[in-house]
Amino acid sequence: MKKKTLVWVIGSIVILIALAFIFTRNSVSSFETIGSFNGEMKVYKSMSCGCCDVYITYFKSKGNPNTQVVNLESLDSIKKQYGIPSEMESCHTVIIGNYFVEGHVPLEAIEKLLQEKPDIKGIAMPGMPSGAPGMLGKKTGDFVVYAVNNDGSYEEFMRI
């Protein structure tokens, strides 16, 4: 009888730990911060960019539906205004409050940015990586998202 009780108690503890892990993990990956963000949220893109439209659909459906879209003939002035290094450029720029988000950055990285509020200009995922939000193809490796510091230097922010 003692053996059955011990097995039952240990099994219950394991299940409770597993449930706590699952619920804690789900709350970290929720996008409540993006969804409830009340500041400026704008996506600057060229009128002819198809992958930008797909990214905007992803961003609005999983992040914040109140994001404004601004079509421009050239994004050079926006990238210059926000101090985005040429090595970090992609096809569209999102402005969220005082930060820029350059390229096909997954919402996990944006959520981290908004939760941690680091003293940086913004984050970037340069180029157009296969399998990234808004891009065709399969993901072939980690997505490396960079933090762009106030002095224009950049370093790894996170890998997804």
pLDDT tens digits for range 73-96:
999 999 999 999 999 999 999 999
- Identify whether residues 155 and 81 lie together within a single domain: yes
φ/ψ of 142, rounded to 5, equals -65, 145
- Identify whether residues 105 and 150 lie together within a single domain: yes
- Identify whether residues 26 and 66 lie together within a single domain: no
At residue 18 the predicted structure's pLDDT band, cuts being 50, 70 and 90, is very low
- Identify whether residues 61 and 117 lie together within a single domain: yes
* CATH number of the CATH domain containing 99: 3.40.30
pLDDT at residue 151 is higher than 90: yes
Can you give the pLDDT at residue 35?
A: 80
Q: In whole angstroms, what separates CA 94 from the centre of its chain? A: 11
* 3 state SS of 39: coil
CA-based Rg of the chain, rounded to a whole angstrom? 20
Query: Range of 66's domain?
Result: 32-159
- The average pLDDT across 129-142 equals 94
- Identify whether residues 78 and 133 lie together within a single domain: yes
- Identify whether residues 23 and 67 lie together within a single domain: no
**Burial class for 92, CB neighbours closer than 10 Å (0-12, 13-18, 19+):** buried
- The total number of structural domains in the chain stands at 2
